[in-house]
Chains A and B, each alone.
Chain A
Amino acid sequence: MSELMHLIYSSAATQQFDRDALVHLLDRARKTNSELNISGMLLYIDGSFLQVLEGAPDQVEALFDRISGDPRHSTVVRIISEPIAKRTFSDWSMGFAEVSADDLNEVDGLNDFFTGQACFSELGPGRTKKLLHAFKSGRWRSRIEGVLPKAPPSSASEHPEPASPGVSASPPPGTPGLDALPVSFAFQPIFDVTSHTISSYEAIVCDEAGGSADAVLSSYTSTEQSGLLQRELHLRAVALAAKLGLQTGLTLKYAARGVEEADQLMSATLEIARSHGFSNNQVTLEIDQRELVGDSSWFASVIQKQRGLGLRFSIDHFGDARSGLSLIDAYQPDSVALNKNLVANIETHGTRQAIVRGVIQTCQDLGIDLIAKYVETEAEVAWFRSEGVDLFQGTVIAPPTFEALLPDVRYSGPVAA
């Protein structure tokens, strides 16, 4: 079996690349690559590179490492790396779009892939050719402008707002025992960069000291208990949010897996919210997509009905191991939050980028908000901004704050897409 792979990446030039600079780069590359028995090509258009490297896996990876560290470009995104049966390029070549074909003829090894076409159409079919085609039609070009926030303005100030008056309409307490449950909540903003406002706070359950609630909650596992627990948690979260003077949306997790009384449970939550002075549309139930697998047409109809009553829905962890596109069709949520595995280091992961672009496209077409959740770095935020995503939730924007609503977030990047 042959030991060959190809690696295709895109990147953005950090400096002007005129013809001389490219020729210089090519000279160097040509020499090294033939020594390493690496074939492929390099394309340059409008400040973006796309390079194909073919050869023995060790050599290709090592060269890619070296190239990645080259300061003449940045935002290096690995798009494909996989074994191949044979090379697409017998040699090393290079092409670019701006320079005229005449210019190129003078330089040995330079081909104009785009205007000359000869080389491009001679390429055998396969993913390389398809990718070059995608690049040609504008994909994989660098679009990230500035990186985002400069200064973190937020001190985790607790600002006691007047508690909401008379919680007299407080619904009957939950089950005995549950009302003594030692839990509380932290709140994490979901931030809209276009309007520079916090669109919602997600209530995250914790123990009474702000630590993990896992130990406290681990004993409520049966289906019956999880329904009661769910109700109690919503009751507490809404009450605390009201006490803290929450004016924005409130996002509550819904995790009562398999509870048949989902309908009543959701109605109760809406009722609790109303009794605390919150309006329709202010409450979003965030459903873990793992709750949605299996035959859940009854659940879909519950959600449709509840949406009609004013609740909003979000699907969380979208894109994890059991994610189905069919979920979007079946549930048509108001928003979708991407799973962490699609978000982490997205600025360097071509496959994740391609997948997320597809999800963005689908969501845009359906008027579903996409939330870039779990963002931890500025580079991740910058990438999502460059794709027109407006809603963010994650530690880099604002961490959860215990029993407090963070008044502002860390974002001073570009506002309009």
Chain B
Amino acid sequence: MIALPPFSFAFQPIYDMASGQIVSQEALVRGPAGESAYSVLSQLTAPGIYQFDERLRAAAIRLAAEIGGPEALHLNLNLMPRSLEVSPSALASTLETAQNCGLSPESITIEITESEIIHDIEGFVAVANEYRGTGIQYAIDDFGAGYAGLYLLAEFQPDALKLDRQLVAGIERDGPRQAIVRGVLRTCEDLGIDVIAEGVETEAEFSWFRSEGVDLFQGYLLARPGFEQLPGVAIPGTSARPTPVVAQLPMAA
């Protein structure tokens, strides 16, 4: 057994303007005292990292359930590159932990980056669809950054996709990015896929996405990741301030 570095988590909410609720909290790995994700992950090398990945998800579920209680909890959990390939049971064990903590599969969303999926698309789609029957959901992370984008959606339609920060930054004054995002929104609307604007940092970015009908947001503007807590959100344009610790989490699905 490989010695694993100590770690903990921060959580960052995903907020739905349409329902006025936090629909999920994304678990972000941190050092034991809140150090960066890099400080933890850089200590790991190839075979160990996949084992670690599974344990990370399990630990994130336990921590979140402990802080917020399982009742209204929904979690977005990351899946590291090549995890499913190396360990096809990765999702089963995550779901088992969830169940032990009182969480149903419907309250788990697995986030995968597009470059990860494209690496072995057939294998990925097979495993992902196998677990879809449980009710688990999928989100494609960093959409638009890599080379996979469109082709990927032809082969696999996630429940949600998170626009890459590169597409979001300064979008209010970047025509090509706006055009690209409008295209993505169009495609997603037609396919019933939610679009999450991730990494939203300014009111101008937020307003642009609102004007295009985007409801789901994650980013510093609404809430910074909270170390070992489930933060509330500050809704732009209102005086609402984040409550430091939110024990009660309204959930979407």
Contacts and interface: CB of A to CB of B under 8 A. Distances in A.
Given A124-B253, A358-B186, A80 B144 contact: no
A51 interface: no
Given A325-B144, A358-B187, 4 more contacts: A328-B179, A341-B151, A358-B183, A358-B190
Nearest to A85: B135
B150 to A, nearest CB: 5
A365 B179 contact: yes
B191 A80 contact: yes
A83 B133 contact: yes
Contacts of A134: 189-190, 192
Given A134-B192, A355-B187, A358-B187, A328 B133 contact: no
Given A351-B157, A366-B176, A322 B151 contact: yes
B146 interface: yes
B133 A321 contact: no
A130 B192 contact: yes
Highest count of chain A CB atoms <10 Å: which of B146, B153, B183, B188:
B183
B145 interface: yes
Interface size, A (range)? 35 or more
A409 to B, nearest CB: 28
B149 interface: yes
Contacts of A360: 183
B251 to A, nearest CB: 11
Interface stretch (A1-9, A99-107, A303-311, A374-382): A1-9
A16 interface: no
Contacts of B39: none
Highest count of chain A CB atoms <10 Å: which of B134, B147, B150, B179:
B150
B183 A323 contact: no
B113 to A, nearest CB: 13
B191 A341 contact: no
Given A126-B253, A134-B189, A293-B147, A84 B132 contact: yes
A329 B147 contact: no
A325 B192 contact: no
A139 interface: yes
B153 A83 contact: no
A336 to B, nearest CB: 11
Interface string B115-145: 0001001000000011011110000000011
Contacts of A357: 186-187, 190
A262 interface: no
Contact of B192 (A1, A128, A359, A361): A128
Interface string B181-213: 011111111111110000000000000000000
Closest 9 CB pairs of A and B: A358-B187, A85-B135, A362-B183, A365-B179, A130-B192, A127-B192, A354-B190, A358-B183, A324-B147
Contacts of B105: 85
Contacts of B252: 125
A82 interface: yes
Contacts of B63: none
A141 B54 CA distance: 44
B90 to A, nearest CB: 16
A129 B176 CA distance: 31
Contact of A355 (B153, B177, B189, B192): B153
B183 A82 contact: no
A341 B154 CA distance: 9
Contacts of A84: 132-133
A325 B180 contact: yes
Contact of B180 (A80, A323, A362): A362
B159 interface: yes
Interface in A312-351: 318-326, 328-329, 332, 341-342, 350-351
A345 B144 CA distance: 26
22 contacts: A79-B190, A80-B157, A80-B191, A125-B253, A127-B191, A127-B192, A131-B191, A321-B118, A322-B148, A324-B149, A325-B150, A325-B183, A326-B166, A350-B191, A351-B191, A353-B190, A354-B187, A355-B187, A358-B150, A358-B184, A359-B150, A365-B178
